[in-house]
A = this chain, B = another copy of it.
């Protein structure tokens, strides 16, 4: 029996398909050599639509994940997959069943209820707008209103980190640090528990900055990417962080998700 190293994975959902796609990406990250194609089929709400997609799953010999909550769709997909020897992973119902039995409450079976346009949703939207508005120290007023203030020299991922945390509902402002720039007075009024200083390795920053120059079609050997310059910036930043008495995170081998989790964790413990 031959084993393919390439594989079709289908995500079927009554909404966007984001939850199951996340599961696929996390699980398949464990198989760097497996070439897989993720096909997303969002907004399936009728049996007819579902049947058409299931025929495709059979044709592609696909692994199927679904996040259906409507019992009719769940029954349809299970029957079809059992009858056609298709592996079908039900992402939500194990937890839904457990919650039902624990709380004696019936699920409402409403598709895509995760994306309801409630207060939490609008809170997240305005946090995202806040992050864009107060990115890059654009307006120092943001530092006083923010839940979290992120400081860092160039290329320590302040912007994506701010946005990632905004997407979790936090109001985040960030300030780029340069030894030559004057710090806004507001920064000294921010509670140090709400402030985080990002730093990075000299070597890493030098590579990132050289790459950036190259992507602009410029000579990579600029003062901006020189190690002397970077060392000076890192020293300046770390000295400032000590004066401000804020948390310091070295982002050199961390993704924004990891850095964010560390910040939220330490906020909780304060």
Contacts and interface: CB of A to CB of B under 8 A. Distances in A.
A26 B117 contact: no
A31 B95 contact: no
Nearest to A264: B40
B103 A95 contact: no
Interface residues of A, number: 75
B18 A22 contact: yes
A23 B96 CA distance: 10
A185 to B, nearest CB: 24
Nearest to A96: B27
Contacts of A113: 26, 29-30, 32
A132 interface: yes
A7 interface: yes
Contact of A3 (B40, B102, B114, B157): B102
B23 A23 contact: yes
Interface of A: 3-5, 7, 15-19, 22-34, 36, 40, 42-43, 63, 65, 67, 69, 87, 89, 91-92, 94-96, 98-99, 102-105, 107-110, 112-117, 121, 124-125, 128-129, 132, 135-136, 157, 159-160, 163-164, 167, 253, 255-258, 260-261, 265
9 contacts: A19-B22, A23-B91, A28-B99, A29-B113, A36-B99, A63-B95, A89-B95, A112-B258, A125-B157
